[in-house]
Each structure stands twice: as structure tokens, then as C-alpha cells.
């Protein structure tokens, strides 16, 4: 993350103490339903003011921190193949901080948000898939990396208004054949969650297929 020299060690220890503290948003109050920063006094079983009146298809969110500063710079580096080692190291940090929550969800299967094949070809990597692989290994869970397919090339979400994001991603995913999701508890994985439109659409597809519980794990939660 910062280039400081380290003694060789396992991937779980390939970040220096300074980067670990800068990348993880310890002490920040986050809504357990949508993952946004929220005053604890304004959060109840329905969520926070940001998500209380939205129909979210997922049941909870864990993230390493907010999408700013060092974490934002790290996530942007992960979007190209040279950043895969950083993706692995930061995801181990996420697992260190979110292991209890993920265990409490009693997950059956890990599913990454898919990238359209043309964008994957240009970028050379899908950081969501790398993150999902690490999370699955750390929690000894099966991964269905090809269960969700992006059926069409959508516009990048980052420069769209929230309502435009919902329209842009509508019906963008489908399930591949041969993946039974009946009564499954699924952990949906991506690098960033902003308005939640992408994860919400993917969760809708999974729940329509029979999944009873869909939770979300991301590295960064952006305040869209």
C-alpha cells in the first residue's frame, strides 16, 4: 500500500501497522443494514435514515471503511492486474475486522459481482472476484465465481445520479445454469458500495432464485 519494506510473511501480514490503521475505519458508527455512516441513535431494526424507506434486497453490509483517503487510493489501484497483490492483502485486513459478522451470517456460498466480459478484457482483472476468493478461503466457504453473469454492458455507475444508477443496472444480471440457490445464505462481494443499486439488483436475482439471505461484503463504503 505504501511501499515500506517488510519482512517476508503470509498475505495476512503484508501491510505495515500504519497502513492497517489508516485503511480500517475503526470507531466509526456504521448502519448494519446498508453500511453507511450513521448516528447510532438514529438506527433501528429498519436501518438508518438513508436506507429505512428503501426496498433493499440484502440484509446487511460489512466494509473495511469509507471510500476516501488511503482506502480510496488502494481500491483504485486494485482495478488493474498489478494491484492484485494489494487486493489480497487488504481483503485479509477486511476479514480480520469482519470475521465475527460474517460468521454470524452463517453463509453457505460466496458470490462476486460479475464484470461484463468486454470490461474484464480491457482491465485484465475483476477485483470483486479476487476479494471473493480470499474471503471464501479465510472462512472455508465455497465460491460460485460464475454464478452471476452480467448480461449486458452497463454504463459505469460512478458518474450517474442515484436514480440513473437504478435504471442503468436494472435487469443487468442473470444466473448461470447449474447453481442451486434454494434456501441458500449468500455473501455477495464487491470492491465498493455507493448507493447499493448494483448489489441490490444482484441480490434480487439471487433471492428470486431461492436464496433466503443475502449479505454484502465490500472493501469500501462510499457516501453516494
Could you list the pLDDT tens digit for every one of the 224 residues in the chain? 888 888 776 656 788 888 888 888 666 678 888 888 877 878 887 788 888 878 888 999 999 988 889 999 999 999 888 889 999 999 999 999 999 999 999 999 999 998 876 776 677 688 999 999 999 999 999 999 999 988 866 656 556 566 666 666 677 788 988 888 999 999 999 999 988 888 999 999 999 999 999 999 999 998 76
Give residue 170's pLDDT: 72
Give residue 9's pLDDT: 66
pTM of the complete model beyond 0.85: yes
Residue 224 neighbours by CB under 8 Å, 6+ apart: 162, 194, 195
CA 11 – CA 188 distance, rounded (Å): 22
CA 102 – CA 212 distance, rounded (Å): 16
**C-alpha angle 216/106/86, rounded to 5°?**
45
Grid coordinates given for 142? 465455497
Q: For residue 176, how many other CB atoms are within 10 A of its CB?
A: 11
Give residue 126's pLDDT: 87
Give residue 164's pLDDT: 66
Give residue 7's pLDDT: 77
Give residue 160's pLDDT: 57
Amino acid at each position: 500500500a505504501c511501499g515500506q519494506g517488510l519482512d517476508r510473511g503470509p498475505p495476512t501480514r503484508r501491510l505495515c501497522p500504519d497502513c492497517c490503521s489508516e485503511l480500517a475505519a475503526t470507531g466509526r458508527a456504521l448502519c448494519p443494514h446498508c453500511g453507511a455512516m450513521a448516528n447510532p441513535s438514529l438506527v433501528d431494526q429498519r436501518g438508518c435514515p438513508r436506507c429505512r424507506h428503501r426496498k433493499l434486497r440484502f440484509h446487511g453490509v460489512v466494509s473495511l471503511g469509507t471510500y476516501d483517503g488511503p482506502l480510496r487510493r488502494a481500491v483504485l489501484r486494485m482495478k488493474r492486474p498489478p494491484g492484485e497483490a494489494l487486493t489480497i492483502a487488504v481483503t485479509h485486513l477486511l476479514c480480520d475486522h469482519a470475521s465475527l459478522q460474517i460468521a454470524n451470517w452463517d453463509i453457505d456460498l460466496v458470490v462476486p459481482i460479475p464484470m461484463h466480459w468486454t470490461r474484464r478484457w480491457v482491465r485484465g482483472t475483476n477485483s470483486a472476484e479476487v476479494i471473493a476468493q480470499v474471503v471464501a478461503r479465510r472462512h472455508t466457504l465455497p465460491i460460485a465465481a460464475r454464478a452471476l453473469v452480467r448480461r449486458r454492458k452497463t454504463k459505469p455507475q460512478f458518474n450517474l445520479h442515484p436514480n440513473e444508477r437504478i435504471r442503468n443496472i436494472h435487469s443487468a444480471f442473470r444466473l448461470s445454469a447449474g447453481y442451486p440457490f434454494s434456501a441458500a445464505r449468500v455473501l455477495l462481494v464487491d470492491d465498493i458500495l455507493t448507493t447499493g443499486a448494483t448489489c441490490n439488483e444482484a441480490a434480487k436475482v439471487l433471492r428470486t432464485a431461492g436464496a433466503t439471505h443475502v449479505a454484502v461484503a465490500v472493501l469500501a463504503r462510499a457516501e453516494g
